[in-house]
Structure 1
Amino acid sequence: MQPVLSTFKWITEGPEMAGLLVQESGRLIPESVQYSIRRYVKPQGWMAEDTGMLQYQVTKNGAGDNKLELRFCVSGNMYCRDAQAKCACKAHQSTNCNEKFETVDLLQFSFTPTVLTQFVKPRTTEPATLADDVLTFTHAVSFSQLVPLCNRMRLVLEGLLNHNYSDTLENIFVNAQTQMLLLYSMDCMLGEKEIDIIACKFLANEADRDKIQKAREVLLEHIGEPITIKELSRKVAMNECYLKKGFKEMFGTTIFDFYQNQRMEHAKYLLYEKGLSVTEVSMMLGYSSISHFSTAFKKHTGLKPCELLLR
């Protein structure tokens, strides 16, 4: 398990090398949504941010294979197991817990065209909106869009992870909550003017989107070995200009800012959790001098590395 793991890879490809699976649930709610929730032991060194993603998929095989999925990766929850009863319970409700640990939860919701079209308002004179095109699967290009987790979305996810409903009432509750997640995700997508991203020619090509995703993975793999944009573009076989533009539009940040953010988050982990010295961390992250590292760290966190160690 790498110290800094791409959440994007988790929610697109699944946690193939992640922590131990400790809990799994899910079901198909008729005429609503198919969902699954998988809970893993939080891997050592996990530094990825909580995030979500909306995936829109249209196929040549017809409407039956079209789907819209929401995926979320959330860390920081707790899991406890009663060794004697051999059962799982919520950590905050446990009175005699023999084993308690942090987790990373992967939630996935899949909507079919039949379910989504019921939400579309009939249009007479007004032109169809992007939401209309997506929910009726008339938008011609598949795409993926990262969804930042705002407070209202976190509350819905918290409810899905820690409710006490069962059987029919659970179906009603999950159905209501997933519709709220869909609402917030669509609202976020429209608020970010995703239509501009979808319409961008080279991002409409799945192969080019994969290259940009790979670029993000390469950056995470080179946390301690700074890599130039020219080198990065060669590794993923994409023009530098397209790479920079595509990265900003897909992930909402520049390549440099993303890389610096990940380096500083990893620095915090090495300093605070691992107890390494400022000199050791500076060298591990490829800085030419301690002063350069300290300046970058303070710009990101508001603290000097030594001040963090004193907390």
Structure 2
Amino acid sequence: MNQQTDILNIAHNQPFMLNELSVLQDITRSVPGSVHYSIKRYRKDPQWNMEDTGMLVYNYEKNNLADNYLELKFCVTGNVYCYEKQSECDFCKMNASKTCVEKVNSIDVLSFSFKPSYLTQFVGGTKQRNISDEVLSFTHTTSFSKLLPLCGKTRMAIEGLLNHNYSDTLENIFINAQTQILLLYSLDCMLGDKEEVFTCKFLANEADREKITKAREVLIQHIGEPLTIKELSRKVAINECYLKKGFKEMFGTTIFDFYQSQRMEHAKYLLYEKGLSVTEVSMLLGYSSISHFSTAFKKHTGIKPCELLLR
């Protein structure tokens, strides 16, 4: 499979030096008979100007069919990662989430590679074929790569891959399903440079779409400091109504549901990886009481926070 730094270079608009990249997380796995995938998380320097980027790579080797593959690559920013993995740091002990130097912005790079033996099952038996049929059946005889826009549906599929709760067999089923969705959206984009059609007319304005995307980043940055819709709308300079409607359309979820999901994923990390108590996590995430936190956690994960600590 190709090296992942190429999608990073495109998203950054200039090449990275090897010593610039600090790896926070590195997952490489295969779903039997389906997809080989990797998810890498890098520490993001505040000075880097990164753009969320997608790419489809089609590799065709006439004289060596075993080397044929189709690969999807994505580079997304805006997620927050706690750099202190092994033990509770002083910032956590002091509840200093605003000034914590260990909680950093990150860059997620995802890669999904498919072999012809898996992709040919999707090709229909019609005589009239388009470029998607040729690619999936590997009858297109020229290698190519194509940049892909990251629409709201694609972002939600990527979000699911980064934040799911499945393991073992169920994880394989989930990964397989999500990657098929990403494959569908990517091939649909490849058929033509069609602009995404929004129900909310104001989203036709690129500046307004950027404000909605910025709102998502602000929510993640304030994971332990809940914001009201009014406060969030002021931070990104957009009308409250536009913010709520635009967020739902672009990301497929409400602001509240998205924020709760992010908080609970961070809570799982603090409880399971860092070993903090339920009381400490409740305070760090800005809950007024432990019972409110426990109720929200169980609603999101299906278990109580104390049950996670026992695993």
Q: Which residue of 2 aligns with 1:37?
A: 39
> Residue 28 of structure 1: CA displacement?
1.0
Q: Following the alignment from structure 1 to structure 2, what is the Cα–Cα distance between the partners of residues 149 and 183?
A: 13
1:1-311 maps to which residues of 2 (within 5 A)?
7-8=9-10, 16-85=18-87, 99-123=102-126, 126-192=127-193
Q: Is the 8 A contact 1:113 1:137 kept in 2?
A: yes
| Counterpart code for 2:56 | L
Q: Following the alignment from structure 2 to structure 1, what is the Cα–Cα distance between the partners of residues 83 and 172?
A: 26
> Residue 45 of structure 1: CA displacement?
1.2
Q: Is the 8 A contact 1:54 1:147 kept in 2?
A: yes
Query: CA distance change for structure 1 residues 164 and 104 in 2, over 3 Å: closer, same or farther?
Result: same
Q: CA RMSD in A?
A: 3.3
Query: CA distance change for structure 1 residues 164 and 86 in 2, over 3 Å: closer, same or farther?
Result: farther
Q: Following the alignment from structure 1 to structure 2, what is the Cα–Cα distance between the partners of residues 20 and 132?
A: 39
Runs (4+) of structure 1 moved beyond 6 Å? 9-15, 95-98
Q: Following the alignment from structure 2 to structure 1, what is the Cα–Cα distance between the partners of residues 33 and 139?
A: 20
Q: Is the 8 A contact 2:12 2:49 kept in 1?
A: no
> Residue 63 of structure 1: CA displacement?
2.2
| Counterpart code for 2:54 | G
Q: Following the alignment from structure 1 to structure 2, what is the Cα–Cα distance between the partners of residues 84 and 30?
A: 32
| Counterpart code for 2:114 | F
Q: Following the alignment from structure 1 to structure 2, what is the Cα–Cα distance between the partners of residues 24 and 162?
A: 15
> Residue 165 of structure 1: CA displacement?
1.1
> Residue 140 of structure 1: CA displacement?
0.9
Q: Following the alignment from structure 2 to structure 1, what is the Cα–Cα distance between the partners of residues 11 and 80?
A: 23
Give the alignment's TM-score, normalised by structure 1: 0.53
Query: CA distance change for structure 1 residues 182 and 110 in 2, over 3 Å: closer, same or farther?
Result: same
| Counterpart code for 1:127 | Q
> Residue 43 of structure 1: CA displacement?
2.0
Q: Following the alignment from structure 1 to structure 2, what is the Cα–Cα distance between the partners of residues 118 and 173?
A: 19
**Matched length:** 184
Q: Is the 8 A contact 2:12 2:48 kept in 1?
A: no
> Residue 19 of structure 1: CA displacement?
2.8
Q: Is the 8 A contact 1:11 1:72 kept in 2?
A: no
Query: CA distance change for structure 1 residues 86 and 67 in 2, over 3 Å: closer, same or farther?
Result: farther
> Residue 162 of structure 1: CA displacement?
1.0
> Residue 80 of structure 1: CA displacement?
1.1
For residue 18 of structure 2, give the secondary structure of its aligned residue in structure 1.
coil
Of 14-23 and 109-118, deviating more is: 14-23
CA offsets per residue over residues 158-209 of structure 1, 9 Å max, x none? 111111111111111111100000000000011328xxxxxxxxxxxxxxxx
| Counterpart code for 2:119 | L
| Counterpart code for 2:135 | V
| Counterpart code for 1:162 | N
Q: Following the alignment from structure 1 to structure 2, what is the Cα–Cα distance between the partners of residues 163 and 44?
A: 27
Q: Is the 8 A contact 2:11 2:75 kept in 1?
A: no
| Counterpart code for 2:167 | S
> Residue 147 of structure 1: CA displacement?
0.4
For residue 52 of structure 1, give the secondary structure of its aligned residue in structure 2.
strand
Query: CA distance change for structure 1 residues 20 and 60 in 2, over 3 Å: closer, same or farther?
Result: same
> Residue 130 of structure 1: CA displacement?
0.9
| Counterpart code for 2:182 | L
Q: Following the alignment from structure 1 to structure 2, what is the Cα–Cα distance between the partners of residues 187 and 54?
A: 11
| Counterpart code for 2:23 | L
CA offsets per residue over residues 212-271 of structure 1, 9 Å max, x none? xxxxxxxxxxxxxxxxxxxxxxxxxxxxxxxxxxxxxxxxxxxxxxxxxxxxx9xxxxxx
Q: Following the alignment from structure 1 to structure 2, what is the Cα–Cα distance between the partners of residues 6 and 173?
A: 26
